[in-house]
Amino acid sequence: MTQKPNQLSALEALARISGGSLTSEALTEACLDRITEREETVGAWKFIDPDMARAAARQAGKLSADHPLRGIPVAVKDLFDTADMPTGYGSPIYEGNRPASDASSVALTRTAGGVIMGKTVTTEFAYFQPGKTANPHNPKHTPGGSSSGSAAAVADFMVPLAFGSQTVGSTIRPASYCGVVGYKPSFRLIDRTGVRPLADTFDTVGLFARDVADVAHFAAVLSKRPALRLNGEDDSQPVFGLCHTPAWPHAEEDTRAALETAARLAADAGAKVVNISLPKVFDQLDEAQGIVVDYQAALSAAYELAFHRDRVSKSYAVRADAGAAYTPEQFDQALAVIAAAQAALDAAMEGVDVLLCPSATGEAPEGLDATGNPVFNRLGTALRGPCLNIPGLTGRTGLPVGVQLIGRMNDDHRTLAAGSWLQKVLRR
């Protein structure tokens, strides 16, 4: 069966555009056709203007080949400012809000030739109150959050690339539930200017694609670090540290089976897999990360909570109230726990390239009134290094179940290379 343009990976599409066998306009039109076909079921989009997308594609088609995203459609989470599209941050308070400028990452995408397709659904202020998006594999199930629309849009072949963000598990968890690659880079690898804050200690721009090499390429463009691209060096076998993490009691049967399967297939393909036990300080990391996020979430929404509280969701208000009740001493103690775990990571990872961990508790839960438990994402986010969801496995009902790679801070290339290698193994 011939692959439709919207089913191509970003790098495959770029190669065809450069080779002249595909145009940006044809690729964008294929994505728009898919959106028309499926949006009523999936609900990935908060704003889309097909004519605006077509105009951007025409302009991209006139660019030279040295534009690294030339003609590639990109979805933008509605947490990121866009000068030519409304940005609502998932809140009725900001319905129709028109920022004066693009977020820096959006501007860099445009200057690299990317086609901004529209804005995807986010949970309110990137926390836990869900939007309208359904899981494209089974619309009775959550797509995860907070980057729900972006993960669903990539999974459903509406776009090859999308922006997300992660403060707790907002990239890795929806990537696992939707069966796509989700990449949370090292903290501050990608500039956050113009992205609505939730908790400044952890907020990180995240990326979605269907192939690890695609997010590596995208991140290389946005961070101006061309060395992040994968150029075949991902063929060497990594050393994986199989790590259940202190959250293991929360793992359901599907996650336990997926992690065991990924470790076995990696070993069968020639990788070294060793068991890793984390020091005791990591036992306190989940609680500490939660304290910091709630404390800062109360601060980042100070205006909305003070002057528009009747339009803030109950779920956000409850978490913000809990955060506001923490004392500065409790906040500082949580930061101290996090710093101690960060300092202990190198010794814990001695001899391994990446940790191999669960991405989520299991398959996407049924229902759209919650986005799932982020307990397996707090550790990687707290450590502030790269986290990567690798798709390819499924649970008992056939829904996706990902596995997560966690790398050392600023060791993104090694993490991406290990992820690309593992993705190829799981595909086989």
Active site residue 186: no
Catalytic member of 9, 24, 77, 176 = 77
Q: Cα(first)–Cα(last) distance of the chain, in Å?
A: 19
8 Å CB contact between 2 and 206: no
For residues 104 and 280, what is the distance between their CA atoms, to the nearest angstrom? 39
For residue 186, is the peptide bond before it cis, meaning its omega torsion is within 30 degrees of 0? no
Look at residues 6, 194, 181 and name the one whose alpha carbon lies nearest to residue 83: 194
Helix (H) or strand (E) holding 365: none
CA distance 90 to 131: 7
Is the separation of the CB atoms in 184 and 32 below 8 Å? no
Residue 120: closest CA among 162, 173, 182, 58: 162
Give kind and range of the element (H or E) at residue 83.
none
Q: Per the residue annotation, which of 24, 105, 146, 147 is the catalytic one? A: 146
DSSP code, position 310: G
Distance from C-alpha of 163 to C-alpha of 185, rounded to nearest angstrom: 12
Q: In what order do the strands lie in the sheet with 387-394?
A: 45-48, 115-120, 73-77, 161-166, 204-209, 181-184, 387-394, 400-406, 354-358, 239-242, 272-275
Main-chain phi, psi angles of 159, to 5 degrees:
-150, 155
170 is catalytic: yes
Helix (H) or strand (E) holding 71: none
Q: Which residue has the tokens 């990591």?
A: 282
Nearest-CA neighbor of 356 among 218, 241, 255?
A: 241
Q: List the beta strands (DSSP E) in 78-232.
A: 115-120, 161-166, 181-184, 204-209
Contact 71, 113 (CB under 8 A): yes
Q: Is 77 a catalytic residue?
A: yes
Question: At which residue do the structure tokens 């839960």 appear?
Answer: 365
- Tokens for 386? 């790269």
Q: Which of 170, 223, 300, 420 does the annotation list as catalytic?
A: 170
Residue 308, classified by CB atoms within 10 Å of its CB into exposed (0-12), middle (13-18) or buried (19+), is: middle
Which two tokens mark 147? 């980057």
Catalytic residue ranges:
77, 146, 170
